[in-house]
Amino acid sequence: MSTSGLPQIRPGESARFTVKVGEFSDGSPISIPVVATRGTADGPVLWLTGLVHGDEFNGAVAALQSVTSLHPQDFSGMVVCTPIANPLAYLARQRVSFTDNLDIDQQFPGVRTGITTQRTAYRLFSMIQTHATHVISFHSVGAPMMSNAYAVFKRAPDVNRDVERETARIALAFGTQVTCMVDVATATGELPGQLAGSLDRACMQAGIPSFMAEIGGGARLQPESTAQGIRGVRNVMRFLRMLPPDEPRSDSEPEAMKPVVITKRQFLIADKGGLWETAVKPGGIVSEGGLIGRLGSWLGESMEIRASQDVYIILLRANPAVYEGDRLAFVGTEWVSAGEYEAQL
């Protein structure tokens, strides 16, 4: 089976096809759809992936619409989209593959002779490594949660410094109000699951600048969120000079709305079960002592959840039914302005 995946796509052409990454028990193919459009001039190859987790639809739709809305005469380089990167999770409408219960975003660059999800990761990554110069891995926050669109890029000791800097620059160019920097050397326990094996980190290790874009909530489709993702792709394409530059952004927005890079984060965890009622919205700062939400009981009791320090609200729980140990919010505890961070690159 070929791992290069893409047919020859000439300048000004588009292509829509599927790539076989495995077989079901009846011999029918397990396939990944691919949509690609090449501009009329040479330039970078921007690769967009969606549905790495099978219930994260907003990011996948944003990736797909980003490439299908392009006209070859309007841009240079090529944009490739694999909107269903993990078909076995998508078919089950769940986060992980139903055959082996593996999270594919912990398996990259994959194993050629491994189990099913590892083989899928290997064949997808082989295509990306062969062709891509830059990668955006689209995701959505978990189904019980809500957030504004935000970008996430990683720093790691096993990544070339120039690749790391370019990754940070394209993540900031994506243009969301919040961009998270995750230092994998110090982020143990900060995020659920392991940080090794993610698509963006594997790309960076292979010399390909790559970041994650979190677009809307899982298990639902939100047109306003997909629109944010499409704008972000266009912003990255302008940064890479695949599209003409846009009009300069106004510097007149309120200080609270200016882009920030969050360098440390933490989850707020429920210490009891109950009914959650949020008092704030994603994308704002809550000062020390400020109210974030209330956790009530069905006996009429209520507990206020307040900020133990100044925090930046990244995402909040939307589903009100809470078990002890559920995540109520994801907050930034340290941040700087995007301009200040970019000036240090």
DSSP annotation of 113 reads T
Question: How confident is the model over 12-31, as pLDDT tens digits?
Answer: 999 999 999 999 999 999 99
- Extents of the domains making up the chain: 14-239, 264-343
What is the CATH superfamily name and number for domain 14-239? Zn peptidases (3.40.630.10)
Task: Outline where DSSP puts E strands in 99-149.
Answer: 134-141, 145-147
Q: Is the pLDDT of residue 2 over 70?
A: no
Structure tokens at 235: 């912003």
**Domain 264-343 bears CATH identifier 2.60.40.10:** no
Angle (deg, nearest 10), helices 223-239 and 161-173: 130
Model confidence band, residue 185 (pLDDT cutoffs 50, 70, 90): confident
Given a contact cutoff of 8 angstroms between Cβ atoms, the answer to whether 143 and 218 are in contact is yes
Fold match between domain 14-239 and domain 264-343: no
pLDDT at position 257 is: 72
- Condensed to tens digits (0 to 9), the pLDDT of residues 252-299 reads 555 557 899 999 999 999 999 999 999 999 999 999 999 999 999 999
**CA 153 to CA 111: how far, in whole Å?**
24
- What are the percentages of helix, strand and coil residues in the chain, rounded to 5? 25, 35, 40
What local confidence, expressed as pLDDT, does residue 276 receive? Answer: 98
Structure tokens at 169: 């620059």
Nearest to 328 by CA among 281, 276, 272, 265: 276
Per-residue pLDDT, 188: 60
Cα–chain-centroid distance for residue 183?
16
pLDDT at residue 315, rounded to an integer: 95
Nearest to 197 by CA among 78, 305, 281, 117: 117
Q: pLDDT tens-digit profile of 226-264?
A: 999 999 999 999 999 999 997 665 555 555 578 999 999
Q: Dump pLDDT digits (tens) for 79-104.
A: 999 999 999 999 999 999 999 999 99
Is the CB of residue 66 less than 8 Å from the CB of residue 83? no
Where does the pLDDT of residue 191 fall: very low under 50, low under 70, confident under 90, or very high at 90 and above?
Answer: low
Band of pLDDT at residue 193, cut at 50, 70 and 90: low
Q: What is the DSSP letter of 96?
A: S
Separation CA 342–CA 172 (nearest Å): 8
**Cα 81 off chain centre by:** 14
More confident residue, 94 or 2: 94
Cα 140 to Cα 281: distance, rounded to the nearest angstrom: 17
Average pLDDT over the chain reads 93
Beta bridge partners of 36: 15, 80
pLDDT interval class at 1 (50, 70, 90): very low
Indicate the pLDDT class of residue 3, thresholds 50, 70 and 90.
very low
What's the predicted TM-score (pTM) here? Answer: 0.95
